[in-house]
A and B are shown apart, each in its own frame.
Chain A
């Protein structure tokens, strides 16, 4: 097999090749410490504030797309074959400002200026994919960018003005698209990438078979995809993650199959891409993905990563539990299928053997007689970790509930179903007093904890109220509360 001992990428207008780097070198440190590109700022070093936002262009099915990402938790090795755009790229060679930069100046949308480069790149990513972005789109694009000075109103006005003026015409990256695509295509060399230096190893397998092989040889390797969690292991806990096997660029982990009864979605699809894929069959889930992280996190974090990580507040677990999703796991040449809810064994423990990885997720389609919804409650509505996440699916046959899944996150040491509450529903009509019985049975299922996000008492009440809300919405009785914004 061909083995490449270097990675290559485009940084603004330069092609760079690296053959000697630490597997945990972040893009932010690379830009600031090695390239003196100081326009990209460090605000939190954990992917939550967006001051370090840059754009990463990559080829998806041969087409070049740009996504905003947090440079602070993105490892340099993961940029192989991409185009990194930092704020320094936007000003023209003759010193003219980019239209977004001009608008930010004109609408007084920078104050201290520290968050501004990151905000501009988030907006750039937005306007390239949605030239007619509305206020809601702008807000969503900025959910991963904190600004403490402006109150955002001036920033929103600036973007609205650009859109009203016809969006980005004759724009830098749009004009460069063809040449950049060609340059990136040249970098897509088939083969395995192996980098090793004194700090450790960074490997990009050739394909999924190669990954299976590598993982058998190096069962303790860290599987790296979106790095939205692993980035924190490194930055906050100084964890040694070597050897790293980077999987988010493997096409074989991004395959999507629309079967007759189910949708199969590759584990390495990020949330933003997944949103497009699942929208048709699972609109509720597609909307719900906006409740995960900020836009940069949605552009990085993957379906498989959220599951494999095993957190009790993994946001995908409840909605996928309720849908009856399964995982296809692979180890060496063998594969096995496991129901997602069986995958979570205990706190921090999943049914995943050494050398095994999640290849894809199988989600059965919803049927006409199934009622389904997802809710997430957090202190701040967006870019926040769940206090409680809930997803319900009820199957109704001949006016009776014949199957019930009430799945919760944040209520126990792992994402869990409320099986005792479900029992109250089975064989019963879909009526308010029946739902109420199930709600009252929830304390038998869960003994939640007090923590920084909420008290146990509130968690339990919310868990019950979300079930009540589900009934009200499904029964069409009343616009129940503020609902999820989508």
Chain B
């Protein structure tokens, strides 16, 4: 397989010919829906007067809770805690109360603002602190991971430290906003084009709200303009409203919220309040780790349960805790329901482990890297996680050693310490942080996938699978797998839109699993067709299986050579079945949440990054001068695409930890709801020197597709090195004797105020 094949849509991206949902040709009479939102964060609707909305120019109809035919519920866990339209109780600022359908989008947008709603306001819980004070109501069942006797281990440790940390949230800011386009047909049938990571869930939810069988609904997705977890459950609402409107009017209906409304209506990465206590010996070896992860989940559960679970699964990162007690606290707040975001809670857990490493290092006067290394999981011992899975593929020590050498970490660190001695107003920092990320959905049943392969009489091939193309190049990888399976050129393989009527009951394209699951399913389908072709050749040419080779668009049969297309035509005439489905389920995984024990992950992906930053001591501004990454993708399916994921994930992680700040005001209104107030990284924020290498010696010991490893999420967490490097620069103020306990995001304000705090601490 070529390691450098471009994205299958690259040529269409650059010409503007790639069709996103809003670019599709609209059927005659297409209508446009828009949503009417609450303007309080908590309260009851006393009077809903939509007469002016109804009377506005171009308005066709209005939809509210009473128009719902089936269940008024879009909880992905089916908990009945998240209505499509709320009828009485408003639980966050921006909650959807009604929809208006009009002849143009502009008319619908304008009309939606004309609602007159009278509320009875109720007390508002916006932040974690308030939620904790006011009874700490939870949206999902908390998880407790426990190994060993942490109380005794803490007591017996030579040193103990405790602290807390605020970890900020993150807005997805996919460039293509949420959108759905519903086209009704005969009987109950509706086809929905949805910008979603999870078409099967959209299908199921729409069926449930419309009270029709799932088979009436077909959801199609050709491509998604960025998702990052923000379209795993969050696209359901838009698809449902478009479908309801299509059902009611009998016309095609499109729904696309404005960027600002998109940001208000959809959930974000969870922010956390972390409390920790760690016990360690004089060399810095961790003996016990206790931590509580309180998360702002918003008004409903959404995926907060599994997300906060994953936080705990990654609170060890690469480090062995002889005794650990980790607890999640998924708190209910009057804010939008937070949701999946690249890493799915894992990044926040990892920050906890890196924070305690820092605490130990600064208290012992050592380089944090030294503390990291002596706490790495072992190979044959010290290899059990707090959830009792034994790690069998640990390569972190080798990875870190190689990166430490190739990046001249030690030398540069010495130079930086010297630089900081002689510079008052600019300080530098450097940090090397590791990543270990568990691959598999922790909801075990999600670890399945299907595919459908057709070979046509001219030898051209069509592949369809359950995964979504959202920029990551999944379709390219799958097409490469199929092409290499049949030994034909990639151009012979056509990828078509993901469609619930082709491959049913799919899982979300999430948890970095897209290529792992769908690649195996596609290979399964290819293998079935190939086996039939081989059987046909053996019979027809009277040869042995070993004599048959599919390569370079030809089929070699002993000394004879056939074009692939010739073979296919022959097989067709001989009535060989040239189409098949494929299926895959990940083996050897299980998880008992009640006991907190199991083997939730099929394998782990590893990586490490060194970041060097400088900070302006007068303004708190930071700048990244160099980043070196060594990342493990096993045997890469496509190096160019994998490097794209690593670079993009890193920069997204950097944004999360530096300039991206999600904020609500006291009334619970999101104050960062547009790109003018919410700042994702720009080209000019990218590290001046940015070296990304793959650990090309790594092969996945687990039997994955071509022994590759997942790459979607893990690189995001490499950006923790940026935070740690900033932290070192700040720590220079107090001669590296005080752990700065920097919260995230490390905005200029946060950095400068932390510097001031440290200055005061030395003086006192």
Taking a contact as CB atoms under 8 Å apart, the answer to whether A49 and B675 are in contact is yes
Interchain CA distance A458-B751 in the complex, whole Å = 11
- Complex interface: stretch among B540-548, B569-577, B617-625: B617-625
Main secondary structure of the interface of A (DSSP, over half): loop
Least CB distance, B47 to chain A, in whole angstroms: 24
Determine whether B11 belongs to the interface, using a CB cutoff of 8 Å to chain A.
yes
The residue of chain A having its C-beta at the shortest distance from the C-beta of B11 within the complex is A105
Among residues 648 to 684 in chain B, which have CB atoms less than 8 Å away from a CB atom of chain A?
Answer: 648-652, 659, 661, 663, 665, 671-672, 674-677, 679-684
A114 at the interface (CB under 8 A from B): yes
For residue A430, give the distance in angstroms from its CB to the closest CB of chain B.
18
Query: Residue-by-residue, is B6-41 near A (CB-CB < 8 Å gives 1, otherwise 0)?
Result: 110111111111111011000000000000000000
- Known contacts A466-B618, A479-B426; decide if A44 and B671 are in contact (CB<8 Å): no
Query: Quick one: closest A residue to B665, CB to CB?
Result: A452
B686 and A149 form a contact (CB under 8 A): no
> Which of B222-230, B530-538, B593-601 is near enough to bind chain A?
B222-230
Contact of A155 (CB < 8 Å), options: B652, B683, B747: B683
Return chain B residues, CB-CB under 8 Å to A155.
683
Asked if B592 is at the interface of the complex by the 8 Å CB criterion, the answer is: no
A45/B426 in contact, CB under 8 A:
no
Chain B positions 743-757 with a Cβ under 8 Å from a chain A Cβ: 747-749, 752-753, 756
- Asked if residues B9 and A113 are in contact (CB atoms below 8 Å), the reply is yes
Within 8 Å of chain A (Cβ to Cβ): is B121? Answer: no
Q: Which of A40, A46, A380 contacts B679 (CB 8 A)?
A: A380
B684 pairs with A139, CB closer than 8 A: yes
Residues of A in contact with B, size category: 35 or more
- Asked if A377 is at the interface of the complex by the 8 Å CB criterion, the answer is yes
Task: Say whether A387 faces chain B, with CB atoms less than 8 Å apart.
Answer: yes
Query: A115 at the A/B interface (Cβ < 8 Å)?
Result: yes
Contact between chains at B14 and A101 (CB < 8 Å): yes
Given contacts A91-B15, A482-B621, contact A111 B471 (CB under 8 A): yes
Interface with B: A140-148, A214-222, A300-308, A320-328, which one? Answer: A140-148
> When A108-B640, A113-B9, A113-B18 are in contact, do A468 and B175 touch as well, CB less than 8 Å?
no
CB-defined contacts of B259 to chain A, threshold 8 Å: 43-46, 49
| Chain A: CB-nearest residue to B10 | A105
Contacts of A90 in B (CB 8 A): 15
A465 to B684, CA, bound (A): 24
A244 contacts across to B, CB distance below 8 A = none
Q: Knowing A151-B651, A469-B618 touch, does A46 contact B675 (C-beta < 8 A)?
A: yes
Residues of chain A within 8 A (CB-CB) of B564 are none
In the assembled complex, which residues on chain B have CB atoms less than 8 Å from the CB atom of A148? 172-175, 226, 228, 648, 652, 680
Which residues of chain A have C-beta atoms less than 8 A from B472's C-beta? 111
A residues in contact with B692, CB < 8 Å: 153
B424 at the interface (CB under 8 A from A): yes
Let me know if B308 is at the binding interface, CB within 8 A: no
Partner of A478, one of B23, B175, B425: B425
Cross-chain contact of B7 among A110, A236, A451, A466 (Cβ < 8 A): A110
A153 near B619 with CB under 8 A, answer no
Q: B110 an interface residue at 8 Å Cβ cutoff?
A: yes
| Contact A482/B648 with A101-B15, A382-B682 known, Cβ cut-off 8 Å | no
A151 with B176: CB separation less than 8 A: no
Bound-complex Cα distance A455 to B753 (A): 11
Task: Answer whether residue B644 sits at the interface, using C-beta atoms and an 8 A cutoff.
Answer: yes
Residues of chain B in range 172-205 having any CB-CB distance to chain A below 8 Å: 172-177
With both beta carbons as reference points, the residue of chain B lying nearest to A108 in the complex is identified as B640
| Least CB distance, A263 to chain B, in whole angstroms | 29
Assess A482 versus B426: contact at CB under 8 Å? Given A40-B16, A379-B679, A381-B684: yes
Please name all residues of chain B whose beta carbon is closer than 8 Å to the beta carbon of A454 when the two chains form the complex.
749
Per-residue interface assignment for chain A, residues 442 to 476, with 1 indicating a CB less than 8 Å from any chain B CB and 0 otherwise = 00000000011111011001100110110010000
Name which residue of chain B comes closest to A388, CB basis: B619
- Assess the B223–A150 pair: CB atoms within 8 A: no
Binary CB contact string for chain B from 616 to 651 against chain A (1 if under 8 A, 0 otherwise): 111101010000000000000000110110011111
Give CA–CA (A465, B618) in the complex, Å: 5
Q: Is the CB of A469 within 8 A of B619?
A: yes
With both chains docked as a complex, state the minimum distance between the C-beta of A35 and any C-beta of chain B, in angstroms: 13
Interface residues of A in 368-392 (CB under 8 A from B): 375, 377-385, 387
A131 within 8 A of B: no
B484 within 8 A of A: no
Closest B residue by C-beta to A39: B16
Provide the bound-state CA to CA distance between A378 and B659, in Å: 10
Known interface pairs A49-B675, A151-B647, A478-B424; A108-B6 also in contact (CB < 8 Å): yes
Mark A95-130 against chain B: 1 for CB-CB distance below 8 A, else 0: 001001110111010111111110010000000000
CB-based contact A114/B682 at 8 Å: no
0/1 per residue, B674-708, Cβ < 8 Å to A?
A: 11110111111110001010000000000000000
A111 and B425 within 8 A (CB): no
Q: Are B686 and A156 in contact (CB under 8 A)?
A: yes
Asked whether, in the complex, the Cβ of B683 is within 8 Å of the Cβ of A152, the reply is yes
Taking the closest CB of chain B, its distance from the CB of A231, in whole angstroms, is 12
Q: Could you tell me the distance between the alpha carbons of A387 and B661 in the complex, rounded to whole angstroms? A: 14
**Do A38 and B16 form a contact, CB below 8 Å, given A108-B641, A387-B749?**
yes
Q: How far is the CA of A40 from the CA of B20 in the complex (A)?
A: 11
The chain A residue with its CB closest to the CB of B24 is A38
Q: Smallest distance from the beta carbon of B738 to chain A beta carbons, Å?
A: 20
Please, how many angstroms separate the alpha-carbon atoms of A382 and B685 in the complex? 9
Q: Is the CB of B684 within 8 A of A452?
A: no
Tell yes or no: B423 within 8 A of A by CB. yes
In contact, A38 and B23 (Cβ under 8 angstroms): yes
A292 at the interface (CB under 8 A from B): no
A106, A151, A379, A387, most chain B CB atoms within 10 A: A151
Shortest CB distance A33–B (Å)? 9
A377 surroundings in chain B (CB, below 8 A): 619, 621, 748
Could you say which residues of chain B place their CB within 8 Å of the CB of A381? 621, 623, 684-685
Q: Please measure, in the bound complex, the distance between the C-alpha atom of A69 and the C-alpha atom of B113, giving whole angstroms.
A: 30
**Residue A358 at the chain B interface, CB threshold 8 Å:** no
Is there contact, CB below 8 Å, between B683 and A138? yes
Given A43-B259, A148-B173, A149-B471, A113 and B12 touching (CB < 8 A)? Answer: yes
Whether a CB of chain A sits under 8 angstroms from the CB of B245 is no
Neighbour of A151 across the interface among B424, B470, B686, CB < 8 A: B686
Distance in angstroms between the alpha carbons of A40 and B23 in the assembled complex: 10
Answer yes or no: B260 CB below 8 A from chain A CBs: yes
**Cβ A39 vs Cβ B15 within 8 A:** yes
Q: Does B614 contact A (CB under 8 A)?
A: yes
Q: Determine whether A60 belongs to the interface, using a CB cutoff of 8 Å to chain B.
A: no
Q: Is A41 an interface residue (CB 8 A)?
A: yes
- Residues A379 and B225 in contact, CB atoms below 8 Å apart: no
| Contact, CB under 8 Å: A105 / B6 | yes
Whether the Cβ atoms of B175 and A112 lie closer than 8 Å is yes
Does A151 lie within 8 Å of B648, measured CB to CB? yes
Q: Give every chain A residue within 8 A of B501 (Cβ-Cβ).
A: none
Nearest-Cβ distance from residue B110 to partner chain A, whole angstroms: 6
**Chain A residues closer than 8 Å to B659, beta-carbon distance:** 379-380
A372 CB to nearest chain B CB (Å): 19
A87 contacts the other chain (CB 8 A): yes
Does B473 touch A at the CB level, under 8 Å? Answer: yes
When chains A and B are docked, how far (Å) is the Cα of A114 from the Cα of B175?
Answer: 6
| A148-B175, A151-B648 as given contacts; A87 in contact with B15, CB under 8 Å | yes
A361 to B17, CA, bound (A): 45
- Of B14, B17, B684, the residue contacting A140 (CB under 8 A) is B684
Contacts of B470 in A (CB 8 A): 112
Q: Does A19 contact B (CB under 8 A)?
A: no
Complexed CA–CA distance, A32 and B16 (Å): 12
Given contacts A100-B14, A236-B260, A462-B619, 4 further A-B contacts (CB under 8 A): A108-B640, A153-B692, A379-B749, A465-B619
Enumerate chain A interface residues (CB-CB to B < 8 A). 32, 38-46, 48-49, 51, 86-88, 90-91, 97, 100-102, 104-106, 108, 110-117, 120, 138-140, 142-143, 145-156, 236, 238, 375, 377-385, 387, 451-455, 457-458, 461-462, 465-466, 468-469, 472, 478-483, 485
What are 6 A-to-B residue pairs whose CB atoms are below 8 Å? A102-B14, A148-B174, A151-B652, A156-B686, A378-B748, A466-B619
